[in-house]
Chain A
Amino acid sequence: MGLVLRSFATVNEAGAALSEPGARYLGGGTLAVRAVNEGDVSVHSLVRITDPQLSRIELSEGRARIGASVTMARVAANPGIAFLAPAAMAVGGPAVRNMATVGGNLFAPAPYGDFAVALLALDAKVDARKDMPMERFLETRGALAKGSIVTAVSFALPSEGGFRFRKVSRVKPKGTSVLSIAAVIEEDPDGTIRSARIALGCMADRPIRAHAAERALVGSRRTEQGIAAALAVAGEGTHPVTDPVASAWYRAEVLPVHLRRLLLY
């Protein structure tokens, strides 16, 4: 059984083609075509959408909306969302970033999905057939209705300096994640933490929130003592993956170390 590529101008037309058996959506193809090259014969057709709307980045009224077909390279080059450049630059090397899409990253299994970690900390909304908050989307992404297509993600722009991101890898400058962490921290003028959202990559089969650590931070400050309680519960609810990069044990051990660095520096 060979492979067929089917191109459509609109999301609606593509949806029908995607509902057929063996059909898979094609974003940048860095995972989908790789799977085919590796001999995944369950894929009979790849379905892509050429609608330029999916490749837009729109900024208005303090919100950003990034089309699903926008590549990591385009995110990194957009001055309106410059705070996200480190997360986009964390995905693969230059060629991968010219191909890898935002939509595809939402589906990338651990140890991939570094950009999705950033979007989870931003509490992004995922536009699919139904709009969904990022956390809910990630919980259900394996069971999305056949033919579901993500068209965009959108989020409120964090305040200046409010977004933090760190990818930990052993190979520099480019390497697969031991883990990645993103946080959106809002602080009062006196430094008291008003709200905190922390997202972790590689600490489960999908990016997850560190809810216990978030709760421990609120009302506290970003000092050694102020974050101690959050570090102590950072691993709560995590099920780190084991892969050739690191064991689950190692990931659990180093998570508080890197969370501390993320919060303090």
Chain B
Amino acid sequence: MPKVPVQFALNGEEKAEFVESGTSLLTLLRDKIGDTSPKGGCHQGTCGACSVIIDGELKLSCLVLAETCGNASVQTTGGLAADGVLHPLQRAFLDHFAAQCGFCTPGMIMAAKALLDRNPDPTREDVVEAISGNICRCTGYEPIIQAVMAAAQGNSQRVA
């Protein structure tokens, strides 16, 4: 199997890896680099658990070939907390009980981040649309929507 070099920035940190041609970005991140925050739920594009942000755009890392990410900037939920301080979205997900089993959470947070990066003041409809490619089997979505709205408003505390 031919190995190909791929160099990219993962959460701001330069990575240089050799991958087997045809390897997905999800496999590279999880199995080689050890960033297990993106999850492999379906490998078909349908669940969104593997969502990452590549050069500012939300993408499904299970359907992106690692080799196509040369010189790209890849963001994952694994890189959000800085110096032990949670990102406002992570904080809001905690405060609003937006995670139960947690399997969808890193993908949800990336989808929400992609929204807030573009639109810091979203409507509820904007949030629903933004997470529409991400499946959650536990929460019923409502706490997730609340959490994203709260994070956008800079107010992660749960409203009684």
Is B one of A's binding partners?
yes
Q: Number of residues in B with C-beta < 8 Å to the partner?
A: 32
Please give the distance in Å from B114's CB to the nearest CB on chain A: 7
Q: Of B20, B59, B60, B68, which one neighbours A48 at CB under 8 angstroms?
A: B68
- Complex CA gap A150/B88 in Å reads 44
Q: Of B4, B21, B67, B133, which one neighbours A93 at CB under 8 angstroms?
A: B133
CB of A95 within 8 A of chain B?
A: yes
Contact at A2–B22, with CB atoms within 8 Å?
A: yes
Contacts of A96 in B (CB 8 A): 45, 60, 133
Pick the interface stretch among B28-36, B72-80, B95-103, B124-132: B124-132
- Complex CA gap A40/B64 in Å reads 16
CB of A170 within 8 A of chain B?
A: no
Among A33, A36, A38, A174, the most chain B Cβ lie within 10 Å of the Cβ of A33
Nearest CB in chain B to that of A175: its residue: B132
Contact at B21–A4, with CB atoms within 8 Å?
A: yes
CB of B48 within 8 A of chain A?
A: yes
Contact at A33–B111, with CB atoms within 8 Å?
A: no
Contact at B64–A99, with CB atoms within 8 Å?
A: yes
Segment 21-67 of B: residues with Cβ below 8 Å from A = 21-22, 24, 43-45, 48, 51, 57-60, 62-65, 67
Nearest CB in chain A to that of B60: its residue: A95
Contact at B22–A5, with CB atoms within 8 Å?
A: yes
- Complex CA gap A33/B22 in Å reads 9
- Complex CA gap A92/B46 in Å reads 9
Known contacts A173-B132, A174-B132; is-contact A95 B22 (Cβ 8 Å): no
Segment 14-31 of A: residues with Cβ below 8 Å from B = 26, 28-30
Contact at B44–A94, with CB atoms within 8 Å?
A: no
Contacts of A120 in B (CB 8 A): none
Segment 21-76 of A: residues with Cβ below 8 Å from B = 26, 28-30, 33-34, 36-38, 46, 48, 73
Q: Mask for B112-129, Cβ within 8 A of A = 1, else 0?
A: 001100000000000011
Q: Number of residues in A with C-beta < 8 Å to the partner?
A: 26
Known contacts A46-B22, A99-B59; is-contact A5 B45 (Cβ 8 Å): no
Please give the distance in Å from A149's CB to the nearest CB on chain B: 18
Please give the distance in Å from A153's CB to the nearest CB on chain B: 22
Contact at B65–A29, with CB atoms within 8 Å?
A: yes
Contact at A2–B20, with CB atoms within 8 Å?
A: yes
Contact at B58–A94, with CB atoms within 8 Å?
A: yes
CB of B12 within 8 A of chain A?
A: no
Contact at A46–B65, with CB atoms within 8 Å?
A: yes
CB of B156 within 8 A of chain A?
A: no
Please give the distance in Å from A238's CB to the nearest CB on chain B: 27
Nearest CB in chain A to that of B67: its residue: A5
CB of A98 within 8 A of chain B?
A: yes
CB of A3 within 8 A of chain B?
A: yes
Contact at B133–A37, with CB atoms within 8 Å?
A: no
Contacts of A3 in B (CB 8 A): 21-22
- Complex CA gap A5/B3 in Å reads 11
Contact at B45–A36, with CB atoms within 8 Å?
A: no
Contacts of B128 in A (CB 8 A): 173
Contact at A29–B64, with CB atoms within 8 Å?
A: yes
Contacts of B140 in A (CB 8 A): none
Known contacts A94-B130, A174-B133; is-contact A37 B22 (Cβ 8 Å): no
Contacts of A173 in B (CB 8 A): 128-129, 132
Contacts of B67 in A (CB 8 A): 5, 7
List 30 A-B residue pairs with CB atoms under 8 Å apart, sorted by A's residue number: A2-B21, A4-B2, A5-B22, A28-B63, A30-B60, A33-B64, A34-B44, A34-B45, A36-B22, A37-B24, A37-B62, A38-B44, A46-B65, A73-B57, A93-B48, A93-B131, A93-B133, A93-B134, A94-B111, A94-B114, A94-B115, A94-B130, A95-B48, A95-B59, A95-B60, A95-B111, A96-B133, A98-B59, A99-B64, A174-B132
Q: Contact residues of B with A, CB < 8 Å?
A: 1-2, 4, 20-22, 24, 43-45, 48, 51, 57-60, 62-65, 67-68, 111, 114-115, 128-134
